[in-house]
Structure 1
Amino acid sequence: MANDQAVVDALQIYYPRFYQHPTVQKLNQAVLDRVGSPENTRCMVFPSKDAAKRCCAYIRKRKGPNIMVHDVSFSLTQHVSQANQTWARFSAVLFSQEDKDAANEFWGEMGDGISSRHAQFCLDRFQFMSSVSLVPDLQTGETGSYGETIPMEPWQDSDADAKKDITTIIARLVTSDQPGQEAVNPDDVYLFPKGMCAIRSVASILAPGSAKASEAVVFGWPYGSTPRCVRASEYERFTFFSQGTSEELDQLEASLASGNRIASLFCEVPSNPLCATPDLHRIRSLANQYHFAVVCDETIGTFINVDVLPYVDVVITSLTKAFSGACNVMGGSAVLNIKSPWYDLLKSKLNELHEDLVFPLDAKVLLHNCLDFPTRIRKMNTNALAIANLLKSCESILQLNHPSMVATRSLYEQYRRPSGGYGALLSLVFRDPNSAIRFYDAIDLPKGPSLGANFTLILPYSQLAHAYELDWAESHGIAKHIIRISAGLEDESILISKVDQALQEALSLEGHRTIA
């Protein structure tokens, strides 16, 4: 039950882009204690000054220009190693408890918050940091005792190449299989602390100064945070084509032909959670004709399964998901298409504005996790398809979404690599919502958000992603009781047995057999 305090109290940790990690909370409290803030003051910590300033602006926009919200920056004052100087610094935003909802929105939608490993690094050096702020009361000196020394960075020189190794791996995997396509240069792969950071950064760069063309389009139903993030990225207008159909492309084309202009179009291949695929060929043709940029999130499809770079200007990926798989690190990437008409603009702007905010220990973990990425994806492909094949025979399921079984299968096949599969994701809608509840309660598999994990995850998607807009989401085809499954690496027979057993229990009260 929502807001069940017993459940909340039992929760030890949650997806860190939505709820702050306990280590991050400790750093928040350390900041509040240092500056002596009033009891009702709250804090959020970011690895960059730019993110902190954007957070302040977001809160003021939501709550009013005269509310109490301030940013303060912390850094080491002593002569230290380059690594300590670079990473032992952060910016904090202080705000009133009454404005916590707006701050939480920014933390969740933009993805700019500090990672837990980076927060621990800063906590270990916090007593040696001083703070600066436009507010005099927030300026403090270091509190370390005489004779104490600043710890050295907890990584080896060899770890410094982790980010370069990651970009090299991504460049190799994202390179198109199609004839005549150039190999991607690792210098055209940009790393971010989270996938949403990549989306926000690219969306902001593509937002034009001219109000006439300052419109962003999200085409097809995407992950819930994507349209909110794009909408907040300085565009004058925002259009959401929620179904991603050819009819909606007709609408977009008619709008463009009548003189309307857009700056960018964001889509997913395939989409989350409906597993639909947009017509990238037609979108590319419209983009060339009407001069807008196409940004494609292939997190669900993955570099291993789909080949989308020839049709888009930027490929976005949440490296938190299948690329890592271990659910112990976050990351994101943006890959530029060197043949894109937007390449020069994107390249120059990213080189100018992109901050290296991926903490070295996070990069080390991410590199370790991704080394067997292709092998894991192929196993996830097999497991997800096996689950889908089981479910498609269930007469009590109204809708089954898997890239191989939805109406856009032929489009997905156009972008599937010769050796690629259909990914780890599928979703289902029971005819009877009570069956969905029983199925979810009965299934003996991990339950929670995220996807692409090495273990199978079950999620009542709308109940979490659209908890406060269930009717609106359902009006766009996302059923209130839709269940999303992200297949992991378990033995296929065990996985199928658990899904089948949950089906039998879910449908036992319906008075008919599970399998038609």
Structure 2
Amino acid sequence: MRPSSPHMLPVGAPNPPTEKHSVSVSLPTWESVAAWGRREQWLLDLLHTCYPRFEMHSSIRKLMNAVCARLRTPEGISCFIFPSADALSRCKSHLNTEHPDQPIQTVKFVPHQSADKEVLRWAPFFAILLPQQCLSSAKHFWKVFGDGITGRHAEYCLEEFPFMKLDSEDATFETPALCKQRIKGDQQWIDSAAAEKDSLRKQIARLATSDRPDFQPVTRREVFLYPKGMCAIAAVARALVPADLSRSEAVIYGWPYAETPQCVGESNYQRSTLLSAGSKQELDELEASMAAGRRIQVLFCEFPSNPQLRSPDLPRIHALARKYDFMVAVDDTLGTFVNIDILPYVDIVMTSLTKIFSGFCNVMGGSVVINPQSTNYTTIHSALATLHEDTYFPLDAMIMAQNASDFETRVSRCNANALAVANFLTTHPLVARVYYPSLVPSRPYYDQVRRKDGGYGYLLSIVFHHPEIAVRFYDALDMCKGPSVGTNFSLAIPYSLLAHFHEQDWAESEGGIEKYMVRISVGMEREEDIIARVQDALTAATVSLN
């Protein structure tokens, strides 16, 4: 069933409006996006939700407050909550590096040992206590690596919190459980949602398998699940850090999603290099440097890139990787398993399942697929398996599995709508450029890996002849507006203003990310309805200009 006609929601409302765990929030005007960048209080007070790595869900804040209240933390002390000891340890290490003179403490809350096995598995959580001076660094870690607890997981922990005891080496924090321990929980899942997680791995393995008859099918063993897409990217980045310092360099080729270079760059490589243009010249220069003795461990890229929808030359990159012995890790979130057949040219595929794989904008998730025929298969699989910990909260996994059941049909519908909108926009006199895989110069690179029945995806970006037209168009556009992409409903945002608010000049000069670019994730509504809304906004912008 297709969503109703796209519509603009009040500032701060969830996208979609009735979803408690929405991963997008309405920012319906250019000024509201700028106010988010400045973190203006009037806007923050209106937010019912937000993209979960950008801000914390209300359930997470409630759990944080409950922890601070129970520990009687002094004023000025905050806490951040993680589902695993590993994430807690990495956050603490990050904070100790950034603020070596500040006191950082950690605690763990656990249920009574007689509790139900699922309670014992999912109720424990870890908290890091930090002073205000460390707050921005902690938020940076939360945003870039995605390791924080999810909203549904926090809700569950809140329910169990009164029955949990504190596990801490610091005796000053010792507090008993607040209530008499209940023995059996009332979970909505069985065996950590193992069946749903297995179903997701099977589905991803089937979809990621190459169409080439000589290519080995992907199995569940090659698929790893993560609570968020950035968790998947971060896990790959950490897993591939080599012991050999001479080759400890990660290259990010092409302009990627804003957090990816930070995530890779902060994953303990000796060197991290951004080749922002994603051009033939940069590949030529990289090849020449490797021919002269340069050694790299891994090349990361997106296919296609966000927000310019440019496609790298994967067959050439693959040939270079084999010749100079490095690995290739590609984020295919915008391309999708349905549209592109990239596994023969890469070692690893990383996907944000939060986007169109889910579509409903109400749950997060990420996956990693290892090429079963990669010459580095054993090394990669061993490294990922050693680091992997199942922190994918069962309710999140169950909702993801349910949402993804019609993934292929939804991708096809969004492909057709986006192509129609992109082609329509190219003919309008107000529009200077449309970024879409079929319309940019790198189309041949996309076409050489496009599946037989694959399309060009659901995302496009628009650049207008005049900056004021972009503002007026965005303000008049009557569709959902806010962060994220791949939603079943159309969703727009001024990309640079959102993703690079404090570095717009740099993003424009370094990556060609125009300050007044408007990105639209095209949904499943009727094609004519979407185009009519876009046309109405263009008309309104024209009238305003005159």
What is the TM-score with the length of structure 2 in the denominator?
0.91
SS in 1 for 2:55: coil
Cα distance in 2 between the residues matched to 1:97 and 1:393: 52
Residue identity opposite 1:419 in structure 2: D
Alignment of 1:116-515 (within 5 A): 116-145=151-180, 148-156=182-190, 159-475=193-509, 476-510=511-545
SS in 1 for 2:432: strand
* Contact in 2 for aligned 1:277/1:408 (Cα 8 Å): yes
Matched, 1:52 2:88: yes
SS in 2 for 1:127: helix
Cα distance in 2 between the residues matched to 1:432 and 1:68: 51
SS in 2 for 1:131: strand
Aligned to 2:45: 9
Residue identity opposite 2:258 in structure 1: G
Q: Following TM superposition, by how much is the alpha carbon of 1:82 offset from its aligned partner in structure 2, in angstroms?
A: 1.8
Cα distance in 1 between the residues matched to 2:249 and 2:173: 39
SS in 2 for 1:458: strand
Over 3 Å counting, the alpha-carbon distance change for 1:108 and 1:296 in structure 2 is: same
Matched, 1:28 2:64: yes
Pairs aligned (count): 509
* Contact in 2 for aligned 1:132/1:140 (Cα 8 Å): no
Aligned to 1:92: 127
Worse-matched range after superposition: 154-163 or 216-225: 154-163
SS in 2 for 1:398: strand
Q: Deviations over 1:87-117 (max 9, x none)?
A: 1111111111222111110001100011111
Is there any run of 5+ residues in structure 2 with no aligned partner, and where? 1-30
* Contact in 2 for aligned 1:109/1:225 (Cα 8 Å): yes
Counterpart among 38, 60, 75 of residue 110 in structure 2: 75
SS in 2 for 1:143: coil
Cα distance in 2 between the residues matched to 1:353 and 1:87: 19
Is there any run of 5+ residues in structure 1 with no aligned partner, and where? 512-516
Cα distance in 1 between the residues matched to 2:331 and 2:191: 33
Over 3 Å counting, the alpha-carbon distance change for 1:134 and 1:293 in structure 2 is: farther
Q: Following TM superposition, by how much is the alpha carbon of 1:196 offset from its aligned partner in structure 2, in angstroms?
A: 0.6
* Contact in 2 for aligned 1:45/1:91 (Cα 8 Å): yes
Cα distance in 1 between the residues matched to 2:166 and 2:141: 23
Q: Deviations over 1:23-48 (max 9, x none)?
A: 01111111111211111111111100
Cα distance in 1 between the residues matched to 2:201 and 2:316: 30
Residue identity opposite 2:121 in structure 1: T
Cα distance in 2 between the residues matched to 1:410 and 1:343: 29
* Contact in 1 for aligned 2:340/2:454 (Cα 8 Å): yes
Cα distance in 2 between the residues matched to 1:265 and 1:472: 23
SS in 2 for 1:387: helix
Over 3 Å counting, the alpha-carbon distance change for 1:258 and 1:157 in structure 2 is: closer
Cα distance in 2 between the residues matched to 1:128 and 1:255: 60
Matched, 1:114 2:159: no
SS in 1 for 2:502: coil
Q: Following TM superposition, by how much is the alpha carbon of 1:159 offset from its aligned partner in structure 2, in angstroms?
A: 4.3
Q: Following TM superposition, by how much is the alpha carbon of 1:154 offset from its aligned partner in structure 2, in angstroms?
A: 2.4
Q: Deviations over 1:126-182 (max 9, x none)?
A: 122122234332343322137x55533222469430000000000000100012011
Q: Deviations over 1:301-330 (max 9, x none)?
A: 000001110000000000000000001110
Worse-matched range after superposition: 97-106 or 124-133: 124-133
Residue identity opposite 2:524 in structure 1: L
* Contact in 1 for aligned 2:107/2:126 (Cα 8 Å): yes
Aligned to 2:9: none
Cα distance in 2 between the residues matched to 1:79 and 1:256: 59
* Contact in 2 for aligned 1:109/1:229 (Cα 8 Å): yes
Percent of aligned pairs sharing the same letter: 47
Aligned to 1:514: none
Over 3 Å counting, the alpha-carbon distance change for 1:47 and 1:159 in structure 2 is: closer
Cα distance in 2 between the residues matched to 1:279 and 1:138: 56
Cα distance in 1 between the residues matched to 2:231 and 2:192: 27
Q: Deviations over 1:321-380 (max 9, x none)?
A: 000000111000000011112110111122222000101111110000000000000110
* Contact in 1 for aligned 2:116/2:185 (Cα 8 Å): no
Cα distance in 1 between the residues matched to 2:200 and 2:276: 33
Worse-matched range after superposition: 132-141 or 275-284: 132-141
Cα distance in 2 between the residues matched to 1:509 and 1:438: 7
Q: Deviations over 1:176-219 (max 9, x none)?
A: 00120111011110000001111111111111122211111000
For CA contacts below 8 A with separation 6 or more, give which structure has more relative contact order.
Answer: 2
SS in 1 for 2:245: coil
* Contact in 2 for aligned 1:128/1:150 (Cα 8 Å): no
SS in 1 for 2:115: coil
Alpha-carbon RMSD across the aligned residues, in angstroms, is 1.4
Cα distance in 1 between the residues matched to 2:522 and 2:366: 21
Residue identity opposite 1:366 in structure 2: M
What is the TM-score with the length of structure 1 in the denominator?
0.96
SS in 2 for 1:407: coil
SS in 2 for 1:394: coil
Q: Deviations over 1:396-425 (max 9, x none)?
A: 222210000001001100111000001100
